[in-house]
Chains A and B, each alone.
Chain A
Amino acid sequence: GDSVTQMEGPVTLSEEAFLTINCTYTATGYPSLFWYVQYPGEGLQLLLKATKADDKGSNKGFEATYRKETTSFHLEKGSVQVSDSAVYFCALSEGTGGFKTIFGAGTRLFVKA
């Protein structure tokens, strides 16, 4: 079945460092891909998305490119801030009848001042 694998955390970075969180997926069709962010005590928020191969999703300085050849959707940010500390979830959505989404396990990011 479909699945999402993302790098284990926690990831600890200093402010202004470069961030990469790896995500790979397996799917039988042509899924849409997403990154969600969860801040403490809150629900998940959609951060960015890409619906077809080679699409780049971007938001708030974060980027991810849909790579069909490597089945990857790695999250990157050039300069992280303390306020980026959160848990990041990679996800895919495929199929019909409700568009069920498969989430990765989440990667916790700590950014130190």
Chain B
Amino acid sequence: DAGVIQSPRHEVTEMGQEVTLRCKPISGHNSLFWYRQTMMRGLELLIYFNNNVPIDDSGMPEDRFSAKMPNASFSTLKIQPSEPRDSAVYFCASNQDRGFGYTFGSGTRLTVV
């Protein structure tokens, strides 16, 4: 298995632009998680899905952030409009059962200028 695949690896965009981050979870994993990591705030859970259904989006910072999971093999995190304070590394992770732990993707480093 290729693991959790995220794209792009790096994204540089101008303030106000729309940004879409993509994630392909491991086949057979039924939960998917989006995290944001910064030096100041550490690792923050933004939203998670179980069986493609959003379960908890309380970590989504503002209405500018939205996430979808149209099927079991694909999820997107969209920021519209983007702001410099959104600059961070965004990770996607998936898992199968609470006892097995997560598999993380390599992350997308987002820079908003």
> Which of the 9-residue segments A17-25, A67-75, A76-84, A101-109 touches chain B?
A101-109
Closest approach, in angstroms, between the C-beta of A36 and any C-beta of chain B?
Answer: 8
Over the window 22-65 of chain A, the binary record of Cβ atoms lying under 8 Å from chain B Cβ atoms (1 yes, 0 no) is: 00000000001010100000111110010100000000000000
Contacts of A42 in B (CB 8 A): 106-107
Shortest distance between the CB of B90 and any CB in chain A (Å): 10
Task: State the total of A-B contacts with C-beta under 8 angstroms.
Answer: 62
Total interface residues on A, CB under 8 Å, equals 22
Residue of A42, A43, A49 with highest tally of chain B CB at under 10 A: A43
Complex contact A105–B104 (CB within 8 A): no
B113 close to A (CB within 8 Å): no
Contacting residue for A43 out of B48, B56, B91, B100, CB 8 A: B91
Judge whether A44 and B91 touch: CB under 8 Å. Answer: yes
Give the interface residue-count category, chain B: 20 to 34
Residues of B within 8 A of A94 (CB): 98
Residues of A within 8 A of B104 (CB): 43-45
B23 to chain A, nearest CB (A): 11
Other-chain residue from B4, B42, B43, B50 in contact with A98 (beta carbon distance below 8 A): B50
B contact set with A: CB distance below 8 Å: 4, 31, 33, 42-43, 45, 48-50, 55-56, 91, 93, 95, 97-107
